[in-house]
């Protein structure tokens, strides 16, 4: 016969009892970021990336197309490719520095939110870069994963799948 905290179980055929917590534990002094604020931060990051990488690339490629097929046009297209690589590099350096210092991307800093561990402690750069970004990007090669990942933000814990994977949450800064 099983015993419970209140004494022996009166029904030996009853299913086992367990305490299940499906809601994230309360964190003192930590307020989760709103889903729309997280979306805003993502949009800001995307616009910054576009401004630093895609726009210079497109300007040089368009100029190369206008010049024509001679060597000057080809050179402009190559310069556009170099501008793209430099823009991506500068964006990555700025973002990584910001993440390392504060746990915020440039967009998250603008929206006043940041990434922390699920217990509220600061997040490491490796956790953000590798688990939240690189591993998540590899998994996103599976069709529909990205849609499902984003939809998890509307759950009680407001954690996307990449947050659960990296054991992180996004909070108000």
Q: What is the pLDDT of residues 65-78, one digit of tens each?
A: 888 777 888 888 89
Q: What does the alpha-carbon distance between residue 17 and residue 13 come to, in Å, rounded to a whole number?
A: 12
Q: What is the pLDDT of residue 65?
A: 85
The mean pLDDT of 37-60, rounded to a whole number, is: 95
Sign of CA dihedral 46, 51, 57, 58: positive
pLDDT single digits (tens) 125-159: 999 999 998 999 999 999 999 999 989 988 888 99
The mean pLDDT of 107-133, rounded to a whole number, is: 92
Both tokens assigned to 146: 């990205």
Would you kindly state where each structural domain of the chain is located, as residue ranges?
31-172
């Amino acid at each position: 016969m099983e015993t419970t905290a209140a004494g022996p179980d009166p029904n030996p055929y009853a299913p086992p009892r367990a305490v299940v917590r499906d809601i994230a534990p309360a964190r003192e002094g930590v307020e989760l970021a709103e889903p729309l604020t997280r979306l805003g931060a993502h949009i800001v990051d995307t616009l910054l990336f576009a401004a630093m990488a895609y726009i210079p690339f497109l300007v040089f490629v368009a100029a190369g197309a206008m010049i024509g097929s001679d060597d000057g046009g080809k050179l402009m297209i190559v310069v556009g490719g170099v501008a793209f690589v430099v823009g991506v590099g500068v964006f990555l350096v700025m973002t990584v520095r910001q993440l390392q210092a504060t746990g915020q991307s440039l967009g998250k800093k603008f929206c006043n939110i940041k990434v922390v561990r699920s217990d509220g402690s600061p997040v490491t750069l490796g956790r953000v870069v590798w688990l939240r970004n690189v591993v998540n990007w590899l998994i996103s090669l599976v069709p529909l994963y990205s849609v499902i990942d984003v939809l998890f933000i509307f759950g009680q814990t407001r954690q996307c799948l990449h947050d659960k994977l990296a054991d992180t949450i996004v909070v108000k800064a």
